[in-house]
Amino acid sequence: MTLIDGKATAAAIKAEIAEEVKQIVEAGGKRPHLAAILVGHDGGSETYVKNKVLACEACGFKSTLLRFEDDITEEFLLEQVDKLNKDADVDGFIVQLPLPKHISEQKVIEAIDYKKDVDGFHPINVGRMSIGLPCYISATPNGIMDLPARYNIETKGKRCVVLGRSNIVGKPMAQLMMQKRTPGDATVTVLHSHSENIKEICREADIIIAALGQPNFVTADMVKKGAVIIDVGTTRVPDATRKTGFRLNGDVKFDEVAPLCSYITPVPGGVGPMTICSLMKNTLSAGKKEFYK
């Protein structure tokens, strides 16, 4: 069994990005600039955004964090999005989700200029991704797609089960794994809360990508010997032994599943660092106007 080290892989990719940024700036080019909007004080969102800002520093990007209280109106937030759309210095930006209940996330996502949508959530980017056109791809699936190449994992012709059908992970993950390219070319099955025979279908899989948000859902009796397991779960579960009072738990029962696998991602330290790294790759692309002028 090989443990996929997302932390080390992400560090290597960030070093590559930093080197490219250095060369761009030395040649007189513009330093890529990522802006982030954070609304409210959700603990998870605070951590994610802090890590995104730190990753920007590691890559040599400029970053701007705009913070607002959770009682702002939808109209006010849409105005801030419009300002960033029009700010020529900002190459790409994100609005951290979730948003307070009184604000429509879909409305906000659709208000973002798709040319600056480095999260890849705008319907134009989602549509372009699904037909294989250059675009921003959402960070988690894009980060996962870096792993087969870095670890020499074959996906072509393999049976891949994606557990979960969220817009941010499950659906784009399935699209990318089935695409006619390397990595990709897999035979993909998407399983969700209404699927039948989940255990039996998982047992046939060469690759399982678990993105349900249900701690320990994937157990040893669901995994074929030699399978590749990618665990996207990061549920906070109470843990009195930790200073924070919680730990991150994956969707895979790691201790019993790991001995069966050829490759497996740990939680934390697997998919998580790759996700932030993908946002950095998208920001570099935005700075270079790689997809859109």
- Per-residue b or e along 60-83, where b marks 16 or more CB atoms closer than 10 Å to that residue's CB: bbbbbeeeeeeebeeeebbebbee
119 as an active site residue: the answer is: yes
Give the pair of three-digit tokens for residue 190. Answer: 């998407």
Rounded to a whole number of angstroms, the minimum distance from the CB of residue 95 to ligand GUN is 6
Rounded to a whole number of angstroms, the minimum distance from the CB of residue 98 to ligand GUN is 7
End-to-end CA distance of the chain: 44
**Cβ closer to ligand GUN: 179 or 278?**
278
**Cβ closer to ligand GUN: 55 or 94?**
94
**Phi and psi of 96, rounded to 5°?**
-65, 130
Rounded to a whole number of angstroms, the minimum distance from the CB of residue 84 to ligand GUN is 13
**Phi and psi of 161, rounded to 5°?**
-105, 125
Q: How many residues does the chain have?
A: 293
Residue 94 host element (H or E)? strand 92-95
**Cβ closer to ligand GUN: 92 or 266?**
92
**Cβ closer to ligand GUN: 39 or 153?**
39
Rounded to a whole number of angstroms, the minimum distance from the CB of residue 275 to ligand GUN is 7
Task: List, as own/partner pairs, every contact residues 45-52 make where C-beta atoms lie below 8 angstroms and the sequence separation is at least 24, other chains included.
Answer: 45/96, 45/97, 45/98, 48/96, 48/276, 49/96, 51/276, 52/94, 52/276, 52/279
Closest residue to ligand GUN: CB criterion: 97
One of 5, 80, 96, 116 is an active-site residue; which one? Answer: 96
Nearest alpha-carbon partner for 83 in 54, 112, 49: 112
Rounded to a whole number of angstroms, the minimum distance from the CB of residue 281 to ligand GUN is 13
Task: For 144-177, give the DSSP string.
Answer: HHHHHHHHT---TT-EEEEE---TTTHHHHHHHH
Which residues lie near ligand GUN (CB under 6 A)?
A: 94-97, 119, 139
- What is d(CA 174, CA 179) in angstroms, rounded to the nearest whole number? 9
**Cβ closer to ligand GUN: 49 or 218?**
49
Residues forming a β-bridge with 64: 35
Residues forming a β-bridge with 208: 161, 229
Rounded to a whole number of angstroms, the minimum distance from the CB of residue 44 to ligand GUN is 8
96 as an active site residue: the answer is: yes
- What is d(CA 268, CA 233) in angstroms, rounded to the nearest whole number? 9
289 as an active site residue: the answer is: no
**Cβ closer to ligand GUN: 44 or 259?**
44
* Catalytic residue positions, numbered: 52, 96, 119
